[in-house]
Amino acid sequence: MIRQASLTRAACTKRNNFRTQLADKIAATTHPPQTLSPPLKRQLMQTQLAPQYQGTADGQAAEAILRKCVHCGFCTATCPTYQLLGDELDGPRGRIYLMKQVLEGAVPTRKTQQHLDRCLTCRNCETTCPSGVQYGHLLDIGRKLVDAQVPRPAGERALRWALKEGLPSPLFGPTMAVGQLVRGLLPHALQNKVPAKQSAGLTPTRELSRKVLVLEGCVQPAMSPNINSATARVFNAAGIQCVVAAKAGCCGAVKFHLNDQDGGKAHMRANIDAWWPHIEAGVEGIVINASGCGVMVKDYGHVLHDDPHYAAKARRVSELTKDVSEWLPELVAKLKGRVSGSVSRIAFHPPCTLQHGMQLRGGVEKYMGELGFNIKTTGCEANLCCGSAGTYSVLNPSISYQLRDRKLGNLATTFGADKPEQIASANIGCITHLQSGTDTPVRHWIEALDEALQK
């Protein structure tokens, strides 16, 4: 008992010392630099909202999230940027403290903004957190508040504008087609973002009684069109028709996570309007084959909860939305015996949006294995981000490529001494990013299933 008490006292002393050191470091990121009083250093997680945030929706939501955090530090151990940079302020706990300081009235600086920018929003910390802290939602609020007070350099503003306006634009497809034509002439950095031209194959046209909506997305039809058509063929083989609503487009994630939250919400409302007649007609669900889009659409109910015209519809859309892997139990039951499984070694990379954002783990490997595929997740750091993270690979290329190469190195060990013959994933961003660093083919797992169907 004495030793246990001694260890407990040591742990408490270490934690208190950490709070004091971190408080001093955070104070240095505010302007003008603040000296925190000793009581505040000892009780840093007690939240006292500044008057301008009291009673506001953002303030109330952020305070509720902050009060769940017990500053245990478990999140730090699974944060990719902390592992690479070794800076507490580039981990979830440090960023939470930074956002807390802003909410309590400290004036953020460019350093504050950069620490938040360097977050991948992989949400690995949410999987690790024993207290259920909704870090992703807190980060959306924190970035919004900081960006409102800290102007960005002109070049950075231009790049972020080009990304948020260009990727969801109807002009993205023609631009990508031109890029693919001249791909060999492009600088290496641009080649990484321009995948080789791909055939989409045939899309089923037969009318079926069972129907689901499918979101094609903004960049996927131009970058990897076979993913959407493969999804339609697999569902068609199972007796389910995939319906594309003509006016549905970007899920809203691109603009929302680049802090154009109003623009992101506009995309969300446009999709709801496009889908609603089909929902009223009785479609069985909304199938998303890009996990980055899926986690956003599943969050429509939360993002639009205070919109008097769309809250109920957004909630219903979120309820109907499933990642394509969530349909695998039914697909396996209907397709077993019609699929010629592959002995080819397939290393599966579960995107962060799948395993952390939607908390879906193990399903692809389990059900594809039941269909005869030799597919496995690496035993080394399968939980870590590949570095793609939406537009992150453009905005933070150095960190992004370090994580990509680390991920590819771990995927190479999936089958021991035998290298994988294919890499499969579930998100267009991860697929493109990983393919830029390896000659091993990288594709969506639904494409492998489609290819193995005995037509």
CA distances for 169 relative to 177, 250, 292, 333, 403, angstroms: 14, 9, 18, 39, 29
The helix-helix angle for 110-117 and 92-103 (nearest 10°) equals 140
pLDDT above 70 as % of the chain = 90
Lowest mean pLDDT among 114-123, 195-204, 237-246, 427-436: 195-204
Between CA 304 and CA 299 the distance in angstroms is: 9
Lowest mean pLDDT among 114-118, 186-190, 447-451: 186-190
Match domain 339-452 to its CATH number in 3.40.50, 3.30.70, 2.30.30, 3.40.109.
3.40.50
Between CA 414 and CA 435 the distance in angstroms is: 17
Task: Looking at 104-245, list the stretches that DSSP marks H as alpha helix, in order from N- to C-terminal side.
Answer: 110-117, 124-128, 135-147, 154-166, 172-181, 188-191, 220-223, 226-237
Task: Show the tokens assigned to 401.
Answer: 């490529």
Q: Where do the structural domains in the chain lie, given as residue ranges?
A: 2-147, 198-326, 339-452
**Average of pLDDT values for 373-380?**
96
Per residue in 189-214, pLDDT (tens digit) is 889 999 999 999 999 999 999 999 99
Amino acid at 451: E
Query: What confidence tier does 47 reach under pLDDT thresholds 50, 70, 90?
Result: confident
**Looking at the predicted structure, is the pLDDT value of residue 15 above 90?**
no
**Looking at the predicted structure, is the pLDDT value of residue 282 above 50?**
yes
Yes or no: say if 68 and 131 are a contact pair by the CB < 8 Å rule.
Answer: yes
The CATH architecture to which 2-147 belongs is: Orthogonal Bundle (1.10)
pLDDT at 26: 54
Between CA 360 and CA 357 the distance in angstroms is: 8
Dihedrals phi, psi of 439, to nearest 5 degrees: -90, -10
pLDDT at 455: 59
Q: Model's pTM, two decimal places?
A: 0.89
Query: What confidence tier does 46 reach under pLDDT thresholds 50, 70, 90?
Result: confident
